[in-house]
Amino acid sequence: MSQDEQPNDIANDATAKVSDMYEYGYRKSNYGPDELVTDAHGNPISVTDAMMSAHEAATTTTVTPHLCYYSPRIPGNTGSAIRLCAVTGTILHLIEPLGFNLRDTKLRRAGLDYHDMAHVVLHPDFDDLVQSMPSSRIIAFTAHASKNYTEVQYRPDDILLFGPEPGDIPDPMDIMGGPHVAEQVRLPMRPSLRSLNLTNCASIAIYEAWRQLGFKGGQ
């Protein structure tokens, strides 16, 4: 720090830099893809530099089950899930292939920073997740299940698995109903209606699990 610089000046400069990147809560389009997240000083850093490794996720003590999106296709859903996981202390696992680039500006979210991304793990395939957390129960959320999501006693090391959003790619039933799945559960809905938004479903599930676990770590 130079003699003319004061700590408050540096903090104000960092705040101004971040403010310049956003408008109405969304990152402006004239900033490069790798400036999607910033460090504690407001300096842009790579998305992947801010993420957790699979080993770190497997050895981290959690207060809620882990959340897993298998091959998500809509960046806004994943952006919302990142924020959900940041505020609940949940670790989010994303299984490739993704339907978007994590560095894509379409992952626009108000206040996205490295603290949020520190709860995210990227896996090249589903086997990588299973191998990294062999002792965890995988609970698949699917409309094909007969058991309601409230009928499960959740554990902090569980993995709540959600498949991709509806689209041209068939649902991966080998993943959602394979031998690695301990339970299949569903969210009740009125008949003949379309499914809930992916991250709305995940939010309901995470908060039910966290409620069962006494909202430990919350306030």
Beta strands in 51-204 (DSSP E): 66-70, 92-95, 120-123, 138-141, 147-148, 159-162, 181-186
DSSP letters for 88-105: HTPPEEEESSPSS-TT-T
User: CA separation (Å) from 31 to 28, 56, 79, 112?
Assistant: 6, 30, 18, 14
Find out whether 187 is annotated in a ligand binding site.
yes
- Answer positive or negative: Cα dihedral of 136, 125, 74, 60: positive
Note the Cα 166 to chain centre separation in Å.
18
| Residue that is written with structure tokens 């896996």 in the block | 123
Find out whether 195 is annotated in a ligand binding site.
yes
Q: Which of 55, 33, 210 is nearest to 121 (CA)?
A: 55
Write out the binding residues for S-adenosyl-L-methionine.
163, 187, 195
Q: Which residues participate in the annotated binding site?
A: 163, 187, 195
